[in-house]
Amino acid sequence: MNIVLLRENDWINANTVKLTDHRARHLITVLKVVANQTLRVGLINGDRGLGTVTQVSGEGVELEVALSDAPLHRHPTQLVLALPRPKMLRRVFRSVAEFGVAELHLIHSYRVEKSYWQTPHLNEDKVEMALTQGLERSGDTVLPRVIQHKRFKPFMEDVLPAISAETTLLIAHPGNSAPFEADTQRPTTLLIGPEGGFIDFEVNLAEAVGAQKVSLGARILSVDTAVCAALSRELS
Amino acid sequence: MNIVLLRENDWINANTVKLTDHRARHLITVLKVVANQTLRVGLINGDRGLGTVTQVSGEGVELEVALSDAPLHRHPTQLVLALPRPKMLRRVFRSVAEFGVAELHLIHSYRVEKSYWQTPHLNEDKVEMALTQGLERSGDTVLPRVIQHKRFKPFMEDVLPAISAETTLLIAHPGNSAPFEADTQRPTTLLIGPEGGFIDFEVNLAEAVGAQKVSLGARILSVDTAVCAALSRELS
């Protein structure tokens, strides 16, 4: 945990928060905090700063906080991802939050099993929990927006052109595509397919709305690794 | 599963393998294979090729196999990693196998808890199981060698110079280090620290044996993400 994430209702007065839930337990039992210790803290979807432990008791932990730093920069890539199988989903949420992605669009595609849309991992609270774990890893405070699109064609024809208008639009496609290079001049919208890849019809439709094919390398990568590989290209 | 991994004792005659374990169950219940279907197969630490299903029964699956393709290329990076906490370890094993790393050296360091060395995830069979899952993802056949070094200083002074002799030696260190760029001319040996990083003494020792500091980007990354980020730089 590289940051203690706070919510508005944690404040008990202007400068003091009181934590009584799993965060307090983690601070007490894992980090073994003591009075006067300082910790990195941040308001979810808000600023970052420092918290000084003022009290540790059976009831929880109190911190005096000063939020003086702006949120971290957003990652220049917005991701459009064919809904991965549920087992992968939590890891993907964690990664996009860890990398500071602003928007993750989950889309249907031919090789996505319809049943995947029913997974409890897509419930709002589960999504937020996984995203929060990612933020805690990288010390970020801003939750990525996760948007579900259960119909492929309307997404590609109506939504994608709108959300990608000011960006370089790319579709990850193995084979002889050009290697994916970070565009340092403008943000990227990157489409990543399901296990087994997008079908030709889908790739053609993406190309019809302006997407260029790019390769993430010669190896077949699992979806969570592909997400990490793509996002890490634009990190340095 | 992008490849069915075989072992020498799966062969029941010159060209036929018979699978009766979890692989057979996966083929029958998940992939729902039928006679005459072809699948990618490979011999662990050996060649790759195709298998044609000749029989599916309650006893298992028989395949006629022809191994005509050489193993995939090894990744140009050998990794030296401070032993991560057990929860991370399985993911790290899977990733290094997925990327085709030839050698993973796990080392002790100041911020590695000594108890981590006792985890069952370091048992040979558990290590191989996690590595195998990585190979199955990328269709690779070659198991990375995993070598444990429980004493930091002897590793740095005696082992590291030997194993990194023909490579560019780098140590990932956040801050103002130069960004990590893939060296296309020679292989890389990359040191990645534990959560919280290497301590100054350790970084200095690495520099004394010739390591250059590099940065994986401005964000703090968890160990498994850092491994993926580093390995994906040299992919394209």
- Note the ipTM here: 0.86
Bridge partners for A78 per DSSP: A189
For domain A77-232, the CATH superfamily is SPOUT methyltransferase, trefoil knot domain (3.40.1280.10)
Q: Is the pLDDT of residue B217 over 90?
A: no
| Residue type present at position A19 | L
Q: Which pLDDT does position A155 carry in this prediction?
A: 97
**Range B203-221 average pLDDT:** 91
Helix axes B86-98, B124-138, angle to 10 degrees: 40
Whether B189 shows a pLDDT value over 50: the answer reads yes
**Looking at A101-228, which runs of residues are DSSP E strands?**
103-107, 145-149, 168-172, 178-179, 188-192, 212-215
Q: CB distance from B137 to chain A under 8 Å?
A: yes
The per-residue pLDDT for A235 is: 56
Instruction: Quote the tokens at residue A122.
Output: 């897509």
Query: Per-residue confidence at B235, pLDDT binned at 50, 70, 90?
Result: low
Q: B132 in contact with A at a CB cutoff of 8 Å?
A: no
Sheet with A4-6, side-by-side order of all strands: A4-6, A38-43, A48-57, A60-69, A16-19, A11-13
Q: Which distant-in-sequence residues (6+ apart) come within 8 Å of A195 by Cβ?
A: A84, A85, A111, A222, A223
Percentage, residues of chain B above pLDDT 70? 99
Q: Which residue has the higher pLDDT, A179 or A19?
A: A19
Identify the band that residue B174 occupies on the pLDDT scale cut at 50, 70 and 90: confident
pLDDT beyond 70 at A18: yes
Question: Rounded to 10 degrees, what is the CA torsion of B11, B16, B22, B27?
Answer: 170
**pLDDT at A176 > cutoff 80:** no
| pLDDT averaged over every residue in chain B | 93
- Report the candidate in B71, B63, B68 with the shortest Cα–Cα distance to residue B46: B71
What residue in B sits closest to A235 (Cα-Cα)? Answer: B217
Q: Is B216 in contact with A225 (Cβ distance < 8 A)?
A: no
3-state secondary structure of B215: strand
Question: CA A175 to CA A198: how far, in whole Å?
Answer: 13
Q: Are A163 and A105 in contact (CB under 8 A)?
A: yes
Looking at the complex, does the CB of residue B174 fall below 8 Å from at least one CB of chain A?
Answer: no
Q: What is the average pLDDT across A131-158?
A: 96
Strands A60-69 and A48-57: antiparallel
CB spacing of A216 vs B236 below 8 angstroms: yes
Burial degree of A96 (CB within 10 A; 0-12, 13-18, 19+): buried
Smallest Cα distance from B216 to chain A, Å: 6
Checking DSSP bridges between strand A178-179 and strand A212-215, what pairing results, if any?
parallel
Edge-to-edge order in the sheet of strand B212-215: B145-149, B103-107, B77-82, B188-192, B168-172, B212-215, B178-179
Question: From CA A134, how far away is CA A121, in angstroms rounded?
Answer: 15
Rg (CA), chain B: 20
The whole-angstrom distance between A12's CA and the closest CA on chain B is: 30
* 3-state SS, one letter per residue, for A72-83: CCCCCEEEEEEC
- Tell me the average pLDDT of chain A: 93
Measured distance CA(A186)–CA(A189) in Å, rounded? 10
Q: What is the reported pLDDT for A196?
A: 87
Indicate the fold that domain B4-69 takes in CATH. Ribosomal Protein L25; Chain P (2.40.240)
Q: Which among B138, B140, B232 is the nearest to A228, CB-wise?
A: B232
Q: Which of these ranges, A56-70, A83-97, A174-188, A208-222, has the smallest mean pLDDT?
A: A174-188
Mutation site for A-interface testing, chosen from B192, B232, B233, B234 by largest number of A Cβ within 10 Å = B232
Residue B37 pLDDT grade (very low, low, confident, very high; cuts 50, 70, 90): very high
Mean pLDDT, residues B161-180? 89
| Residue among B220, B222, B235 minimizing CB distance to A219 | B235
Q: Closest partner residue to B220 among A138, A179, A221, by Cβ?
A: A138
Domains A4-69 and A77-232 share a fold: no
Which two structure tokens, joined as six digits, stand for A146? 């996760």
Residue B193 and residue B110 in contact, taking contact as beta carbons nearer than 8 Å:
no
Question: Mean pLDDT across the stretch B100-120?
Answer: 96
- A36 contacts A15 by C-beta, under 8 angstroms: no
Q: What is the nearest CA distance from B13 to chain A, expressed in angstroms?
A: 31
Higher-pLDDT residue of B70 and A30 is B70
Q: What proportion of chain A, given as a percentage, has pLDDT over 90?
A: 84
Q: Are strands A16-19 and A60-69 parallel, antiparallel or unpaired?
A: antiparallel
pLDDT in tens, B118-152: 999 999 999 999 999 999 999 999 999 999 999 99
Calpha distance A224→A228 (Å, rounded): 6
Comparing A182 with A162, the larger pLDDT belongs to A162
Provide mean pLDDT across the span A50-55: 97
Taking the alpha carbons of B85, B99, B130, B118 in that order, is the dihedral positive or negative? negative
**Residue B53 phi, psi dihedral angles, 5° rounding:** -65, 120
Q: Confidence band (pLDDT; 50, 70, 90) for B95?
A: very high
Beta-carbon contacts of A6 under 8 Å, excluding residues fewer than 6 positions away, are A17, A41, A42, A43, A44, A65
Report which listed range, A121-135, B178-192, B209-223, is most confident: A121-135
B219 pLDDT band, cuts 50/70/90, is confident
The pLDDT value given to residue A157: 94
pLDDT higher for B220 or B70? B70
Q: List the one residue out of B197, B186, B199, B210 whose CA is nearest residue B78.
A: B186
Q: For chain A, which residues make up each domain, given as ranges?
A: 4-69, 77-232
Q: Which residue has the higher pLDDT, B215 or B62?
A: B62
pLDDT at B236: 42
